[in-house]
């Protein structure tokens, strides 16, 4: 069943999909971690693969950048391809002194400056949160592997170059509310999953730090955030 953005056949995706933003990271995950990975989608260069990890079927497909993009792909995977769980594996900018470069942040909630929720015509604000089943398994696995991780609120921003934050010399008001890190997709994923009765979780690696100015390269982001990927895969095969 082709959709406007996915040309895969029925049954092409596993019940759980890992979703990085970058199509090259999707290919890296498939080629490095999955056995017998097959390309099942490549519309607009958004590569999707299905293979097995430790004998369990798992898929990986890119989301592109931003909430409109992940909103499209997650909706179509959940609604038309029988996907039950989407685990975002991405990069984020650290916003707290206690969070270091390459640490893992697990988004229990996702604040946002986006108007994505306005489509639901709610009589108030909506708090996008992760699916507890995925969150609990992720924390248990992170403890088991001894990873440096943090659990809490992240910020899904519609803007990468934020003029208001730049005028504050990089100091964001989200910092004072304890928000761990900023990225651009999780809130839309959480809202889409909530609306459709599905499961979602965002796991991000700190690729740069707003307070310190430290940063990793694009190649590092594509190929070296392997702890996060392994963590997500271990959650995927335990669902």
| Residues annotated catalytic, as ranges | 208
The residue assigned the tokens 């898929």 is: 59
Residue 53 forms beta bridges with which residues? Answer: 56
CA 9 to chain centre: 24
Contacts of 79 (CB under 8 A, 6+ apart): 196
What is the rounded CA–CA span in Å between residue 172 and residue 93? 12
3-state secondary structure of 161: coil
Residue 184: name the closest of 71, 98, 42, 83 by CA: 71
Instruction: In whole angstroms, give the CA distance from residue 175 to residue 198.
Output: 30
Q: For residue 192, give Cα distances in angstroms to 40, 84, 98, 116, 166.
A: 23, 12, 31, 10, 30
Angle at 55 between CA 54 and CA 56, to 5 degrees: 95
User: How many other β-carbons are positioned within 10 Å of the β-carbon of residue 206?
Assistant: 27
Helix axes 67-80, 186-196, angle to 10 degrees: 30
């Amino acid at each position: 069943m082709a959709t406007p953005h996915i040309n895969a056949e029925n049954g092409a995706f596993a019940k759980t999909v890992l979703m990085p933003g970058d199509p090259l990271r999707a290919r890296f995950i498939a080629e490095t971690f999955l056995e017998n990975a097959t390309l099942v989608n490549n519309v607009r260069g958004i590569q999707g693969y299905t293979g097995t990890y430790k004998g369990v079927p798992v898929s990986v497909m890119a989301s592109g950048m931003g909430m409109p993009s992940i909103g499209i792909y997650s909706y179509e995977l959940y609604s038309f391809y029988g996907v039950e769980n989407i685990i975002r594996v991405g990069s984020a900018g650290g916003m707290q002194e206690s969070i270091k470069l390459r640490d893992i942040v697990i988004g229990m909630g996702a604040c946002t400056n986006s108007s994505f929720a306005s489509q639901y015509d709610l009589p108030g604000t909506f708090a996008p949160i992760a699916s507890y089943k995925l969150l609990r398994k992720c924390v248990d696995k992170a403890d088991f592997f001894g990873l440096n991780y943090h659990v809490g609120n992240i910020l899904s921003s519609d803007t990468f170059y934020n003029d208001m934050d730049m005028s504050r010399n990089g100091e964001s008001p989200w910092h004072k509310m304890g928000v761990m890190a900023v990225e651009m997709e999780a809130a839309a994923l959480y809202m889409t999953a909530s609306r459709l009765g599905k499961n979602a979780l965002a796991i991000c690696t700190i690729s740069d730090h707003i307070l310190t100015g430290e940063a990793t390269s694009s190649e590092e982001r594509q190929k070296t955030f392997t702890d996060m990927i392994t963590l997500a895969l271990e959650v995927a095969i335990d669902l």
